């Protein structure tokens, strides 16, 4: 309510803070009330005021997809590289939760497309994690690192593969996502997709790679010291995939964790990988 806001501000001031140090501009930006934002800026409200957690009005506008408010804050000089307590920036918020308009506006303003939070998540990690395909495309077209790894070695491709986000995976593959990149636990995106039983993603990776590419992804775990599966815990179908290289076939014995066998047996992942690796 703009009229009520005017009354309150006349006595308390434009930058009055609540116990968490949020100002009226934070709330106006969060809920997308552009007239209130305009009024508060006219009254001299701090455009980059930070809460106890380091959140600015721009973080909140980006998180909630309020493109018009975000644009107004940027015009007023909001710091588009402001960091919250976890080093998260407005672009991180927009990429995971906002709309592509916010992402594009921040990129056009000069936001660092590869900036990372304290856990080394980049904006692309968030876009992939929440299956925001338009945001993924916008970030990649701006030159974002498609193979950026977080503190655990996960890439955007790992995030998409884990959740079975087919379209997102396809976009990442088109932009040269490296399917042989391994996490700190020795998993490639292919292994994650197999372990989670995401057959469509497995198929997309297999279709994208030639046979050597599939082999490279499978071998990556072993080469990086990844976990191996005890053959005695696997079904006959899984054992077919897990044959060793000295038999002249794919090095897949370290392809999945033992705990994934039930998931695999319930999907058509086994068939896909058997065909891809020419295992009969």
2-11, 88-97, 132-141: the lowest-pLDDT one: 2-11
For all residues of the chain together, what is the average pLDDT?
81
pLDDT cut 90: percent of the chain above it: 57
Q: Look at 22 and 270; give whichever has higher pLDDT.
A: 22
pLDDT at site 109: 98
Spatial separation of the C-alpha atoms in residues 153 and 17, rounded to whole Å: 39
118-127, 156-165, 172-181, 268-277: the lowest-pLDDT one: 268-277
pLDDT at site 213: 58
pLDDT at site 218: 56
pLDDT at site 275: 53
Q: Domains of the chain (ranges plus CATH)?
A: 1-116 (1.25.40.20)
Q: By the 8 A CB rule, do 229 and 222 touch?
A: no
pLDDT at site 250: 38
Label each residue of 89-115 as H, E or C: CHHHHHHHHCCHHHHHHHHHHCCCCCC
Among candidate residues 93, 45, 43, 39, the one with its CA nearest the CA of residue 70: 93
pLDDT at site 219: 55
pLDDT in tens, 213-228: 555 555 554 444 444 4
Query: Is residue 259 packed enough to be buried (19+ CB in 10 Å), middle (13-18) or exposed (0-12)?
Result: exposed
Does residue 265 carry a pLDDT above 80? no
- The number of angstroms, rounded, from the C-alpha of 273 to the middle of its chain's C-alpha atoms is 26
pLDDT at site 8: 73
pLDDT at site 203: 82
Spatial separation of the C-alpha atoms in residues 58 and 260, rounded to whole Å: 42
| Other residues' Cβ atoms within 10 Å of the Cβ of residue 263 | 15
Q: What is the DSSP letter of 247?
A: G
Q: Look at 233 and 80; give whichever has higher pLDDT.
A: 80
Q: 184 is written with which tokens? A: 């700190």
The mean pLDDT of 226-254, rounded to a whole number, is 38
pLDDT at site 255: 42
Q: Which residue in this structure is represented by tokens 């191996």? A: 228
């Amino acid at each position: 309510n703009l009229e009520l806001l005017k009354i309150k501000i006349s006595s308390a001031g434009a930058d009055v803070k609540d116990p968490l140090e949020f100002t009226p501009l934070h709330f106006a930006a969060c809920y997308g009330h552009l007239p209130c934002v305009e009024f508060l800026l006219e009254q001299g409200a701090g455009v980059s005021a930070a809460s106890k957690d380091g959140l600015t009005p721009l973080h909140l506008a980006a998180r909630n997809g309020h493109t018009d408010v975000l644009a107004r804050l940027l015009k007023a000089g909001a710091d588009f590289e402001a960091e919250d307590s976890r080093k998260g920036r407005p672009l991180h918020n927009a990429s995971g939760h906002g709309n592509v308009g916010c992402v594009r506006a921040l990129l056009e303003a000069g936001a660092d497309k590869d900036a990372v939070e304290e856990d080394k998540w980049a904006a692309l990690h968030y876009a992939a994690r929440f299956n925001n395909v338009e945001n993924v495309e916008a970030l990649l077209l701006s030159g974002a690192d498609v193979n950026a790894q977080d503190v655990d070695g996960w890439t955007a491709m790992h995030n998409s593969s884990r959740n079975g986000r087919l379209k997102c995976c396809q976009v990442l593959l088109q932009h040269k996502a490296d399917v042989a990149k391994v996490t700190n636990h020795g998993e490639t995106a292919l292994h994650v997709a197999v372990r989670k039983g995401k057959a469509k993603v497995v198929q997309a990776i297999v279709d994208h790679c030639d046979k050597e590419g599939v082999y490279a992804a499978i071998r990556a775990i072993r080469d990086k010291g990844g976990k191996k599966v005890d053959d005695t815990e696997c079904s006959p179908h899984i054992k077919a995939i897990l044959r060793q290289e000295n038999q002249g076939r794919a090095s897949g014995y370290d392809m999945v964790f033992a705990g994934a066998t039930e998931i695999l047996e319930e999907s058509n992942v086994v068939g896909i990988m058997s065909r891809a690796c020419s295992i009969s």
